[in-house]
């Protein structure tokens, strides 16, 4: 069911008793976001025996997102933004997140920048962290809390600072000329 009213608490909902999915249309500013929410709620339907967001839920959800991408129904492509592509390459090449080689302060600023860049090209930050940075926050005991603590907390603070980004590129970019 699609409702033409907003919901301040959620973008969509799955009701186990009636096996009904509700999407709140005004909460979505693009088809891509609507598809993401629809797949999220459909995953709840498929994983009916598991209430909440456990590891099995997230694994199935990300699998469905990948299928939707392959079929052209959902888009999560960083190639549409050179800055995001470069930041991602640097983070992965240097194992900055996995090996904790970057300070929490710097990570906070980088994630804030990444969040803004993801919003600009209409890709979901949560899925970006899994697909491109290979973060496995969803495998923690309480995945939703882990995501909030490890990712959104960093993205919510800090200063979007071009000087910081320039220094970040200079410190970590392996393709720079010497």
Taking only the tens place, the pLDDT of each residue in 45-94 is 998 766 677 788 888 999 999 999 999 999 998 988 999 999 999 888 88
Which residue do the tokens 């088809």 mark?
31
Looking at 9-13, 62-66, 153-157, 171-175, which range is the least confident one?
153-157
> pTM (2 decimals)?
0.77
Any idea what the Cα angle at residue 120 is, between residues 117 and 122, rounded to 5°?
Answer: 105
Q: According to the model, what pLDDT value does residue 151 have?
A: 61
Rounded to 5 degrees, what are φ and ψ at 15? -110, 110
List Cβ neighbours of 140 (8 Å cut-off, separation of 6 or more). 146
**Short-list 164, 177, 79, CA closest to 121:** 79
Q: How far apart are CA 20 and CA 37, in angstroms?
A: 14
> Tens of pLDDT along 81-130?
999 999 999 888 888 877 778 877 778 788 888 888 998 899 988 889 88
Q: Which residue has the higher pLDDT, 34 or 27?
A: 34
Tell me: pLDDT of 156 over 80.
no
Q: How many CA atoms lie within 13 A of 140 on its CB side?
A: 13
Which residue do the tokens 């990712």 mark?
151
What single-letter DSSP state applies at residue 72? T
What single-letter DSSP state applies at residue 76? -
> Tens of pLDDT along 129-142?
889 988 877 777 66
**Short-list 167, 116, 132, CA closest to 62:** 132
Confidence of residue 158 (pLDDT cuts 50, 70, 90): very low
- Give the 3-state secondary structure of residue 21: strand
């Amino acid at each position: 069911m699609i409702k033409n009213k907003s919901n301040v608490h959620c973008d969509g909902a799955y009701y186990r008793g009636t096996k009904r999915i509700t999407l709140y249309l005004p909460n979505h500013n693009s088809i891509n976001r609507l598809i993401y929410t629809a797949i999220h709620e459909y995953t709840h339907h498929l994983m009916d025996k598991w209430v909440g967001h456990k590891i099995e839920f997230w694994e199935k959800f990300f699998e469905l997102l990948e299928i939707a991408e392959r079929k052209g129904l959902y888009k999560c492509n960083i190639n549409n933004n050179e800055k995001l592509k470069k930041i991602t390459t640097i983070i992965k090449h240097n194992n900055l997140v996995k090996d904790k080689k970057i300070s929490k302060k710097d990570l906070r600023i980088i994630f804030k920048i990444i969040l803004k860049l993801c919003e600009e090209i209409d890709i979901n930050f949560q899925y970006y962290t899994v697909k491109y940075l290979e973060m496995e926050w969803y495998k923690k005991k309480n995945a939703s809390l882990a995501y909030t603590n490890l990712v959104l907390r960093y993205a919510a603070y800090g200063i979007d600072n071009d000087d910081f980004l320039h220094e970040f590129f200079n410190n970590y970019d392996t393709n720079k000329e010497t």
